[in-house]
Structure 1
Amino acid sequence: MQNAELRTVTVTRYITPLREGGSLPALTEADDEFKYVLKFKGAGHGVKALIAELLGSEIARALGFRVPELVYANLDEAFGRTEGDEEIQDLLQASQGLNLALHFLSGAINFDPVVTKVEEFEASKIVWLDAFITNVDRTYRNTNMLMWHKELWLIDHGASFYFHHSWTNVEEKAKTPFNFIKDHVLLPQASKIKEANEYAKKIITPEKIEEIVSLIPSEWLQWQDTDETEEEIKAVYAQFLKTRLDYSEIFTKEAENARKALI
């Protein structure tokens, strides 16, 4: 079910980085006593990665997929001053204010396509989702799916919407076939992509797109490299998605052809 809005928590404890390097997600604890995977706005792609995570995750949730709860995560000015690692301290200081965090699924294991088979329509819907949001990061090398309590959960959508790193020719990029879909980990099982397209377009309406885009907080829209207002930036994201929806047959056909080349 689509969240009407996200909760806001305050981060109280930095526990550990989840991968090598200080610029990547970290396991943290917040003032509600839950643990979260925190995505930092001070990391490499800044707020654009958070926007992609937010939009991609909430579109996935609207389509009925299991996605960890997202929250806005506030880092106050004093947080991290006692952190011994200089690189992590720099990251924390650069991320003061509003960040994004996902509820930590304790005990979850990485999805293994050899061990777990995904039902064909479900696989097709996930392929459709990733083609729609131009998510390059659901491959055999990095599936970005977890198994938790024997159920499939989707995570990590921050590499989606890569058009926004150049922010040019948006209309043209919205109509691209997305040929990266050939590397999708679930493509071999995705035999019902056309049906998935029909299903998704009943749910992801222009109104739903507007609702999801409205979740982007003002703090993430203070871009130094544009003269556009917050509302104008939101309108670009919404229009990208609406155009992509209108021309979904382009990326649907690309996915179908890529699958035929596999089997």
Structure 2
Amino acid sequence: MNRFRIFSMLLLLVLAISVKAQISGVVIDAQSGDTILYPSASYKDHQVAVSGNAYGEYTIARHNGWKLVFSAVGYKSKTIVVNANTPSKLDVKLSPDTRMLSEFVVKKKRNRYSRKDNPAVELMRRVIAAKKRTNLQNHDYYQYTKYQKLTTALNDISGADIDSGFIGKHKWMLDQVEMCPYNNKLILPLIVDETVSQHIFRKNPRTEKDIIQGENSQGISQLIQTGDIITVATKDVFTDVDIYDDQVRLLQYPFTSPIGKDAIAFYRYYIQDTVYV
């Protein structure tokens, strides 16, 4: 019984010494007080180092007389000399490193365009080959809500135009002049036509229709008789584009669709950036 007690006391003593022979704590941002993710704690000039966790917590063996260095990406390192007075629970604050890295740009020399062994072309071949599978019209039914806004305006209106020009001679137009949100220049909207519609498609028997749910028209087209003519003509120019067709119409001119059957021979394709999903 006495031997068992002595063994237990020795075991507790060893455990107490082993626990005391460690230093642990949390690494904190000195400015915000937030914990720093995955900090590093290492002894300088010794092959002893640990990495903290996502909560900034670390635990490392105690070595009195050694220099313990705390570091993290974006922060200034801090060195502490471990001695007998160093507590076992040691929280460390690191100051952010405000130094900015200079920009480093790597550019590849653009060679002569080639369709052979071109990853952009191979990618587009796969897109074109998948047209039959991804086209919405392969479904028996589908519907969607479409919002369309069409604006036609006279831009770059100057103060002289307002004072003595055509607008100045027709004072009622002054109420229609507004500032363009894109370039902060004065414009005179001729047409602001908004439409919300529901598009419905059925494959067999084939039926396709647009149900107008709401319309709103503003501008001087409401004040002059030719406004409707301008609206109809503008809508005829800016028609819907379906890139699944081999030929599309832009501003009443035919173009090869970017995923049309002849697109590989018509366009030049380049990969600017990629993301893997």
Structure label with greater radius of gyration: 2
Which structure has the highest helix share of the two?
1
Larger proportion of strand = 2
TM-score bin, normalised by smaller chain:
under 0.3
Q: TM-score, normalised by structure 2?
A: 0.19
